[in-house]
Amino acid sequence: MPLARRMLALSILLNALMTLSLAPAAVAQTDSVSYQGVTLQPGDVVNFLGGGATTFNFLKYGHSSLYLGTDPETKQRTFLDFTTEKVDFGEWILGGGTPQPFYGRLLSETNFLNVNSHWHSDFDVYRLKGVRVIDKSRMFDEAKHISYKKSWGLSGQVCSSVVTAVLTKGVCNAQDCKVGGFTPDDLARGDFVRHPDLPAERSINILGALREAEKEKVVREVVQPCQTSVSERAANGEVALASCSSCSSLERQQNLDRLRQIRDREMKRCEIRGLEGRAKYEMDRSPDQQDSAFLQRLRKEIVDLQLKIQPSDQR
């Protein structure tokens, strides 16, 4: 191949190689989110089993939160988590609420699951009975308004009463309309029904749900944007190579084959970045929450992909 043509082809290939890793912004999240086969929609209630607030197991559920859907501002799935600083039960001021005020938090999906995984192991999902149209915008507005307030437990709002207050704003137009419920157990009866895809004998494991959420987050924010960038830039490189009028058909095909090899290698690099992100999530957990077998599987997948992109003479 003449020098000029070799330089043109080399320039196109190098440009593709050096720019494949530049990724566009992450894809926005949808409202629907699934954990272990159970799909949550905006307005669904998350009831955590156990915890100090069950008052010596008098109640089944110790904490309630509300799934709000995707925040139009942050583009992230968001949960309302109205809680207090965790303290030993003996430190509670009986009859007077809690020594620390309850306060609202609007948490992203992974933050929400991670925070609550330290205090609970499982949760159930409930939703309003019947066909209820939920105004997500009004629900978000009320949740953000409440999240700035503080309340001293039984003397004011608690996690579950805040959930019903926000749902009331989301579904009610008449003044006499109100979603009932004060304790977490109240949100499992009365105006509420258990999620149809969650049998009574099964609950959702929080750490399992967290790992699902982390995987989806890494795919959405790292792998998909990276692979989209690779595909787009490789396609642009193919167009540029095809327009090389001074190249023979054989030369064009050889260069296209080389470009596609680069594309396939970089696609696998995107997968490796995703696996590395999931492994980091797992390593950052406390020792009692880490799953060593799961971490080992991730590391094996990383090594297997690295071997696939390694030149045959270096294996």
Q: Measured between alpha carbons, how far apart are the two ends of the chain, in Å? A: 30
CA distances from residue 290 to 121, 230, 285 in whole angstroms, order as listed: 14, 33, 6
Block residue for tokens 């006499």: 176
Please give the pLDDT value at position 20: 47
Same domain, 192 and 140: yes
One-letter amino acid of 265: R
Residue 175: per-residue pLDDT: 81
**How many domains would you assign to the chain?**
2
Q: Is 288 exposed, middle or buried (0-12, 13-18, 19+ CB in 10 A)?
A: exposed
Residue 130 belongs to some domain of the structure: yes
Query: Do 43 and 191 have their domain in common?
Result: yes
pLDDT value, residue 182 = 87
Read off the pLDDT of residues 122-150 as tens digits, 9 standing for 90 and up.
999 999 998 788 999 999 999 988 876 66
Q: At what angle do helices 224-242 and 249-283 cross, to 10 degrees?
A: 170
Q: Is 46 helix (H, G, I), strand (E, B) or coil?
A: strand
Here the tokens at position 5 are 């043509």
Q: Which of 165, 196, 227 is the last residue of a domain?
A: 196
Kindly tell me if the per-residue pLDDT of 167 is higher than 80: yes
How far is the C-alpha of 261 from the C-alpha of 256, rounded, in Å? 9
Q: Where does the pLDDT of residue 86 fall: very low under 50, low under 70, confident under 90, or very high at 90 and above?
A: very low
Q: What is the mean pLDDT of residues 42-57?
A: 77
Tens of pLDDT, residues 174-212: 888 899 988 899 999 999 999 999 999 999 999 999 999
| CATH code of residue 89 | 3.90.1720
Instruction: For residue 96, give the amino acid letter.
Output: G
b (16+ CB within 10 A) / e for 218-249: bbbbbbbbbbebbeebbeebbebbeeeeebee
191 and 215 share a domain?
no
| pLDDT one-digit tens code per residue, 250-280 | 888 888 898 899 999 999 999 999 999 999 9
pLDDT category of residue 92 using cuts at 50, 70 and 90: very low
